[in-house]
Structure 1
Amino acid sequence: MGRSQETFSKKENAKKRQQKKREKEQRREEKRQAAASNKGKSLDDMLAYVDEYGNITTTPPDPKKLKPVSADEIMISTPKLEDIEDAGGMRTGRVAFYNESKGYGFINDGMTGERIFFHVNDLTEPIAEDDRIEFNIVKGQRGPQAADIKKIS
């Protein structure tokens, strides 16, 4: 008698394929049932609201707590450093980082909070990290750069 052409591993693989096919069909049927149950929902059931703290809820907000907002008050973006007008020319800030050996550093602008690059050639007197300073902003090779830097006592 001849040996069977079907080996044990072939039989196991065929069983696994059949099992996957049954599971896939079962998942598909569950999705169909879920979609059919959602068809009856109204628009009000599907709406979500945001409360005064920014949390998503299913209840509408209380009209007594609504605050009027003017469209002019809404800021879409933050103005860039070049767009801000200089009022008086000099700005104040703090030295955030200064490397004496390499001759450069960064200033945290007190008005905008931006970090501005400076070079040792732009210093009018010696400074150290965390000193309060006054400076002007000029356009450098890679963007805004501080110039005429003076220490504030």
Structure 2
Amino acid sequence: MATGEVKWFNNAKGWGFIIPEGGGEDIFVHFSAIHGTGYRTLAPGQIVNYDLIKGERGHHAQNVVALEPAAETDADAAAVEETTA
């Protein structure tokens, strides 16, 4: 299993890229490759483990597991504050 850092992830499109820990080309990741229940997403800077798969269009991540939770953004904090007020 490889380790990397999420470069970016577009929730609307359901895909993004991971920067491999050892360097090299960014790795494509689709939301369907993320382990978890409910809404599957990743956040920039989040550290993940993944299996590297060689596909027809290049490398992509499979069996993606976040090693740390996504950091709370200012927008997340504002939404929580608004719903609890």
Q: TM-score when scaled to structure 1?
A: 0.40
Q: C-alpha offsets along residues 20-72 of structure 1, whole Å, 9 cap, x if unaligned? A: xxxxxxxxxxxxxxxxxxxxxxxxxxxxxxxxxxxxxxxxxxxxxxxxxxxxx
Letter in 1 for 2:57: R
Separation of aligned partners in 1, 2:6 and 2:55: 18
CA contact (8 A) 1:123 1:150 kept: yes
> Which stretches in structure 2 are left out of the alignment for 5+ residues?
69-85
Match of 1:140 in 2: 55
Among 18, 35, 39, the alignment partner of 1:124 is 35
Q: In the alignment, which of 62, 65, 69 is matched to residue 150 of structure 1? A: 65
Query: 2:25 maps to what in 1?
Result: 114
| Paired AA for residue 25 in structure 2 | E
Bigger radius of gyration, 1 or 2?
1
Tell me what 2:74 maps to. none
- Runs of 5+ unmatched residues, structure 1: 1-89
Letter of the aligned partner of 1:146 in structure 2?
Answer: A
Which residue does the alignment assign to 2:72? Answer: none
Counterpart contact for 1:91–1:111, Cα < 8 Å: no
Measure how far apart 1:97 and its partner are: 1.1
RMSD between aligned residues: 1.2
What number of residue pairs does the alignment pair up?
A: 64
4+ aligned runs moved over 6 Å, structure 1: none
Q: Does residue 98 of structure 1 match 2:13? A: no
Alignment deviations for residues 73-122 of structure 1 (CA, whole Å, 9 cap, x no partner): xxxxxxxxxxxxxxxxx111100010011011000000134201111110
Higher-RCO chain (CA-CA 8 Å, sequence separation at least 6): 2
The normalised TM-score by structure 2 is 0.69
Q: Percent identity?
A: 33
